[in-house]
Amino acid sequence: MTAAPVADAPALTPAQQAQVDKSYPECRKEMAAYLAAGARVVIEPQREVPEAAPFAIVVERTDFWIDCCPSVEEARELCRRIGLVVV
């Protein structure tokens, strides 16, 4: 049985929903809101999590990570697919 949609949940594209689904459960609501809003993000090198890919996609002026990618180019492509604005 599938859960009923939450009334205030933003409408997401399939790519955005896939991104939400792979995030930690406690981050999903915030992730969905950033994706639905087409958040402005920066791509920056990260060394905080050794097992993660070296380039983090971070919501501008926050410490919220959308994802990490092996290269800046892959991070830009992911941002394009999920509707984020790289600044």
Digit-coded pLDDT (tens) for 27-69: 999 999 999 999 999 999 999 999 999 999 999 999 999 999 9
Contact 59, 44 (CB under 8 A): no
pLDDT band at 9; cut points 50, 70, 90: low
| pTM (two decimals) | 0.87
**DSSP-based three-state secondary structure for 27:** helix
- Report the helix count and the strand count for the chain, using DSSP H and E: 3, 4
Digit-coded pLDDT (tens) for 67-87: 999 999 999 999 999 999 999
